[in-house]
């Protein structure tokens, strides 16, 4: 009986260890869904995975870089006292699974903070850095363009779109459209969508401590590629669109000859490591011209690529 008791104890210990490992793996996967750097505009020269505080004191926001007149620091109380710049809104959002949801937030408008620091006319790149080293980079145009909340996002409709500001929120809550449910937390970047398919969740940086404003040109995304090459193809041929940095951009395309933008058809709703089966080839059954563009945070949009196909 002694050997039986020892066996049961060994099995019990192994079971506990297995459960603990599974819990750890699940937790890591849940964190990656929201914060994986491959879907944010990673700062030039950064992997987005650095550790340590990249700048800024605890509970202090620092705006720095050669794109502002002066380095400026704000305490939480100072941010909350900016009555002429406070805002609260509901934000529609899509992540890279792709799952659709709403997030409410209340905080201070980003444009106001940059003006306080004296943003220069030639500032071009803005990087948001979190205490854990996670970075997201934007072009100046991406910060200043109009962005919206789509109340009918879950229905796939842009009806009733409301323009919303980009804010640093100290109160927020996910999976709700009720602003009164916002709960206090570390500063988080929140902003609207440019179109129904705009996947922005990964750039909602949590725990922002530093905003670095640079005059460095952000660069431009490379052009979209197509396989097979343009030309004569058999009916039913599937055209695969791709990009050298496909997990950092979204590929939008048109089939009617119009110029593609963020409101056009989306080719890659998911990244390659989440649900790649959703990224389906374009079926060619008649003569068609495919126009495609790559759009992503941190760089200017790619040039429009044009692919002409004739059915044999």
DSSP codes, 93-140: EE-SS--EEEEEEEEEEHHHHHHHTTB-TT--EEEEEETTS-EEEEEH
CATH architecture of the domain covering 35-214: Alpha-Beta Complex (3.90)
3-state secondary structure of 206: strand
pTM (2 d.p.): 0.82
The first and second tokens of residue 1, run together, are 């009986």
The first and second tokens of residue 288, run together, are 């068609």
Give the pLDDT score at 58. Answer: 53
Backbone angles phi, psi at 39, to 5 degrees: -105, -5
Give the pLDDT score at 21. Answer: 39
Backbone angles phi, psi at 49, to 5 degrees: -120, 15
* Spatial CB neighbours of 18, under 8 Å, sequence gap ≥ 6: none
Give the pLDDT score at 185. Answer: 96
- Number of residues written out for the chain: 312
Question: What letter would DSSP give residue 176?
Answer: -
Judge contact between 293 and 260, C-beta under 8 A: yes
**How confident is the prediction along the chain (312 residues), in pLDDT tens digits per residue?**
444 444 434 444 444 334 333 333 333 333 333 444 333 554 433 333 333 344 444 579 999 999 999 999 999 999 999 999 999 999 999 999 999 999 999 999 999 999 999 999 999 999 999 999 999 999 999 999 999 999 999 999 999 999 999 999 999 999 999 999 999 999 999 999 999 999 999 999 999 999 999 999 999 999 999 999 999 999 999 999 999 999 999 999 999 999 999 999 999 999 999 999 999 999 999 999 999 999 999 999 999 999 999 999
* Spatial CB neighbours of 180, under 8 Å, sequence gap ≥ 6: none
Give the pLDDT score at 59. Answer: 79
Give the pLDDT score at 298. Answer: 98
- What are the residue ranges spanned by the domains of the chain? 35-214, 225-311
Judge contact between 264 and 291, C-beta under 8 A: no
CA distances from 10 to 23, 24, 228 (A): 20, 21, 57
From 55, 58, 187, 63, select the one nearest 113 (Cα to Cα).
63
Report the distance separating Cα 258 and Cα 152, nearest Å.
25
CB neighbours of residue 206 within 10 Å = 16
Is 225-311 a domain of CATH 3.30.1300?
no
């Amino acid at each position: 009986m002694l050997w039986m008791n020892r066996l049961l104890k060994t099995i019990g210990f192994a079971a506990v260890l297995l459960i603990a490992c599974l819990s750890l793996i699940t937790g890591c996967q849940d964190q990656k869904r929201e914060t994986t750097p491959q879907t944010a505009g990673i700062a030039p020269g950064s992997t987005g995975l650095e550790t340590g505080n990249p700048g800024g004191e605890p509970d202090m926001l620092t705006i720095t870089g050669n794109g502002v007149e002066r380095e400026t620091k704000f305490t939480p109380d100072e941010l909350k006292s900016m009555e002429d710049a406070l805002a609260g809104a509901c934000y529609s959002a899509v992540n890279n699974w792709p799952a659709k949801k709403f997030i409410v937030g209340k905080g201070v408008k980003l444009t106001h903070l940059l003006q306080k620091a004296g943003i220069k006319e030639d500032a071009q790149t803005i990087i948001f850095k979190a205490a854990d080293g996670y970075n997201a980079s934007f072009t100046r145009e991406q910060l200043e363009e109009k962005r919206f909340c789509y109340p009918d996002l879950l229905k796939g409709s842009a009806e009733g779109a409301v323009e919303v500001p980009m804010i640093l929120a100290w109160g927020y809550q996910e999976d709700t459209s009720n602003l009164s449910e916002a709960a206090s937390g570390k500063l988080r970047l929140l902003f609207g969508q440019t179109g129904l398919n705009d996947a922005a969740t990964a750039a909602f940086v949590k725990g922002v401590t530093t905003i670095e404003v640079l005059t460095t040109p952000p660069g431009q995304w490379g052009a979209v590629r197509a396989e097979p090459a343009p030309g004569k193809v058999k009916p039913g041929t599937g055209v695969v669109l791709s990009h050298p940095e496909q997990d950092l951009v979204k590929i939008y395309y048109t089939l009617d000859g119009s110029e593609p933008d963020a409101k056009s058809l989306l080719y890659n709703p998911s990244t390659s490591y989440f649900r790649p089966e959703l990224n389906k080839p374009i079926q060619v059954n008649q003569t068609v011209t495919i126009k495609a563009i790559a759009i992503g945070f941190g760089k200017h949009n790619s040039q429009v690529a044009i692919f002409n196909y004739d059915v044999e």
